Chain A
């Protein structure tokens, strides 16, 4: 039928390349989606997936800002070029690896680094990594309340400190 298309086709037509700005908006969207799912314990697996994904986005966007990307720059193309990690590769979902990339970049650019804040980045990323893998999207097991709490705290910490992460 003329004039109709599928959802993903429309998205791609409107946004052929994901910009850094869209990555940052995605962190907001996924965080709030996760909070909606948290309201129902039966949906906690989905909530965990989104909370961990939010941590991934916060680390990734902070890194991209630090290496000089502008909001309208194509995020994936630049990310692949700079890190040599393919967008379909698994390593760029590794939260601790992303935290290390980010901290190396932060420390290379600043002399007045706050070791306590760096410790917080490291420990919250590590805590999130305990409960999260990108493969969670294929799974259905339910986390305990303390597990989802810890992941939620990690995502919330990242969301609250986004500006400091990229400075």
Chain B
């Protein structure tokens, strides 16, 4: 019988740490033509439904993670960096890769 140990927690923790570090940088307005390469996390906050914060993070580091896991990484990183009160204001947490973001932008432009 194979005997496995899933190492995912370690991977997630390093992603949480990296994202939390990024969240400690000062926030700046999103330029109209922002270049997002995906090699470092690009965090975009916008006002979502009912005044909650919608968070989209574009990052290629998590290309092999499910959407749900990416969302969990985002929430943990926010809690670590900005505290639970800030986290309570978040209404949506979505993680994309740069390729996914590009596809969604192209579709939005063609719609």
Question: CA A127 – CA B99 in complex, angstroms?
Answer: 12
Whether B95 contacts A119 by the Cβ 8 Å rule is yes
Number of CB contacts from chain A to chain B under 8 A: 59
Which of A94, A115, A127 touches B92 (beta carbons < 8 Å)? A115
Whether B49 contacts A104 by the Cβ 8 Å rule is yes
Pick from B70, B72, B91, B96 the residue with the most CB of A within 10 Å.
B91
B6 close to chain A: CB less than 8 A: no
B5 close to chain A: CB less than 8 A: no
Looking at the assembled complex, report how far the CB atom of A113 sits from the nearest CB atom of chain B, in whole angstroms: 6
Which of B90, B91, B95, B104 touches A130 (beta carbons < 8 Å)? B104
Chain B residue contacts of A122, Cβ below 8 A: 92, 94
The 5 closest A-B CB pairs, nearest first, are: A116-B71, A119-B94, A115-B93, A107-B49, A118-B92
Whether B68 contacts A120 by the Cβ 8 Å rule is yes
Given known pairs A103-B92, A130-B103, A130-B107, the reply for A119 and B71 (CB within 8 Å) is yes
Chain A residue contacts of B95, Cβ below 8 A: 119
Which of A104, A116, A119, A126 touches B104 (beta carbons < 8 Å)? A126
Main secondary structure on A side of the interface with B: helix
Given known pairs A124-B67, A130-B104, the reply for A116 and B75 (CB within 8 Å) is yes
Q: Which residues of A contact B (CB under 8 A)?
A: 94, 100, 103-104, 107-108, 113, 115-120, 122-124, 126-127, 129-130
Which of A94, A108, A123 touches B94 (beta carbons < 8 Å)? A123
Whether B93 contacts A116 by the Cβ 8 Å rule is yes
Question: CA A85 – CA B62 in complex, angstroms?
Answer: 38
Question: CA A113 – CA B53 in complex, angstroms?
Answer: 12
Pick from A94, A116, A123 the residue with the most CB of B within 10 Å.
A116
Chain A residue contacts of B94, Cβ below 8 A: 119-120, 122-123
Of the A-B pairs whose beta carbons lie under 8 Å apart in the complex, a sample of 22, sorted by A's number, is A100-B49, A103-B91, A103-B92, A104-B49, A107-B50, A107-B91, A108-B50, A115-B55, A115-B71, A115-B74, A115-B92, A116-B71, A116-B72, A116-B75, A116-B93, A118-B91, A119-B67, A119-B95, A122-B92, A123-B67, A124-B67, A130-B107
B48 close to chain A: CB less than 8 A: yes
Looking at the assembled complex, report how far the CB atom of B62 sits from the nearest CB atom of chain A, in whole angstroms: 13
Whether B92 contacts A119 by the Cβ 8 Å rule is yes
Whether A115 contacts B90 by the Cβ 8 Å rule is yes
Chain B residue contacts of A127, Cβ below 8 A: 100
B18 close to chain A: CB less than 8 A: no
